[in-house]
Amino acid sequence: MNKRPSALIIYTGGTIGMVKDLVSGSLKPVNFERLQANIPEISRLDIDLDIYTFENTIDSSNVLPDHWIRLVEVIEKNYNRYDGFVILHGSDTMAYSASALSFMIENLSKPIIFTGSQLPIGVLRTDARENFITALEMAVLKEFGESKVSEVCIYFEYHLLKGNRTIKYSSSHFNAFSSPNYPPLAEAGVNIRFNDPVLRRVPKGQTLFHKNLDRNVGILKVFPGMTEAYVRSILQIPDLKALVLETFGSGNAPTEDWFIAALSEAISKGLIIVNVTQCQSGAVLQGKYKTSSDLQSIGVLSGQDITTEAALAKLMYLIANCSDRETICRNFIIPLREEMTLFDWN
């Protein structure tokens, strides 16, 4: 007899399991038993389910790299026991967490699907039910004896997206996420339609779990009228090792002498600066305009079409796991988990 498929649900918190505090009126997370009581349907799924719950469930605005390390530890410990993993997580930082896990687990051969909801599960019009049930179904799908999905994904409002390509773009639509630079991996309607050509193949190598991250990274979003003092105060943060520079359009920034000089000095002292566009879609093309060629010449690295979330997670991962600056830079500019596309735009 065939064994029933199995999934481990990891409950971290988020709106999906929140209720209104009667005193303050704000939403706060509750334990998994209360969440489960609102979705008895899951016991009808033909899946063996187990639950791992964080003892302190969180609003994902409080997520830390330590939580990501904990998620990787739980998955590593249970990797051989389950066909797939569903992580219930707040939507606010889901794209960061999914990006981080994509780097921290190398040669992933099973699905890790993040999901959550915009409305708590106890609310009549909630989106939680569909998100949760379909994520569970996708997490155990097999084809020719292998997992159909072998990557870290986000499932929300009928779409399965590649985790490290995803951004939260709406705080009010049920369709809260988009993946502007990468097609959806699957769409759920009456049937689930997978986009086979863009699904990652199950890798042959051994799955490796990396549990180190370095928090000494930052983000500087350029804006018209930035002062020198503002920029220099960020560049002078003690122990800062890498900075995501969020630029205009295809990677453009002011060409004022003080700005380029400040970045250049920081780079020569060892800071890694990567260029990521503020636009929701499209890529950095350093050198296309004069306003990005200076960045290119002082050694700012092009993030191509990587998201800010994935760039930050990739830097945290690379700094903690590479022995020297050169190796970090070499690995940053190439796709490690299909998180960026390499463009030959000349």
CA dihedral 168, 116, 119, 190 (to 10 degrees): 100
CA 21 to chain centre: 29
315-337 residues labelled b (16+ CB within 10 A) or e (exposed): bbbbbbbbeeeeebbeebeeebb
Tell me, residue by residue from 323 to 342, as one string, x for binding to ligand ASP by CB under 6 A and - for no binding.
--------------------
Which residue in 90, 122, 163, 251 binds ligand ASP (CB under 6 A)?
90
Quote the least distance from Cβ 153 to ligand ASP, whole Å. Answer: 17
Least spacing, CB of residue 172 vs ligand ASP, in Å: 11
Interaction of residue 126 with ligand ASP, rule CB under 6 A = no
CA distance 214 to 104: 12
Q: Select 170 or 207, whichever has its Cβ closest to ligand ASP.
A: 170
- Taking CB under 6 A as the rule, does residue 65 contact ligand ASP? no
CB-nearest residue to ligand ASP: 90
Between CA 266 and CA 303 the distance in angstroms is 18
Which of 8, 15, 95, 178 binds ligand ASP (CB under 6 A)? It is 15
Part of the chain binding ligand ASP (CB under 6 A), chosen from 84-92, 98-106, 189-197, 308-316: 84-92
CA-based nearest residue to 7, from 56, 78, 76, 57:
78
Assess 59 for contact with ligand ASP (CB under 6 A): yes
Whose structure tokens read 């190439």?
334
As measured in angstroms, the least distance from the Cβ of 164 to ligand ASP is 18
Q: Does residue 252 interact with ligand ASP by CB under 6 A?
A: no
Whether 227 contacts 259, CB under 8 Å? no
Helix axis angle, 308-321 to 325-332, nearest 10°: 150
Distance from chain centroid for Cα 195? 20
- Kindly tell me which of 60 and 150 has the beta carbon lying closer to ligand ASP: 60
List 92, 127, 137, 246, residue binding ligand ASP (CB under 6 A): 92
Which of residues 15 and 147 has its CB atom nearest to ligand ASP in the complex?
Answer: 15
- Using CB under 6 A as the binding rule, the residues of this chain from 256 to 295 that contact ligand ASP are none
Q: Hey, which residues are catalytic here?
A: 15
The count of chain residues that interact with ligand ASP, using the rule CB under 6 A, is 11
The DSSP result for 86-130, as a single string, is EEE--STTHHHHHHHHHHHEES--S-EEEE--SS-TTSTT-SHHH
**91 makes contact with ligand ASP (CB under 6 A):** yes
Partnered with residue 113 across adjacent β-strands are 86, 153
> Does residue number 134 form part of the binding site for ligand ASP (CB under 6 A)?
no
Q: Does 17 bind ligand ASP (CB under 6 A)?
A: no
Q: Is 57 in the site for ligand ASP (CB under 6 A)?
A: no
Does residue 56 interact with ligand ASP by CB under 6 A? no
Phi/psi of residue 55, nearest 5 degrees: -65, -35
Q: Using an 8 Å Cβ cutoff, are 136 and 82 in contact?
A: no
Tell me the closest approach of the beta carbon of residue 27 to ligand ASP, in angstroms. 7
Percent of the chain as helix, strand, coil, to the nearest 5: 30, 25, 45
Applying CB under 6 A, which residues contact ligand ASP?
Answer: 13-15, 59-61, 90-92, 116, 118
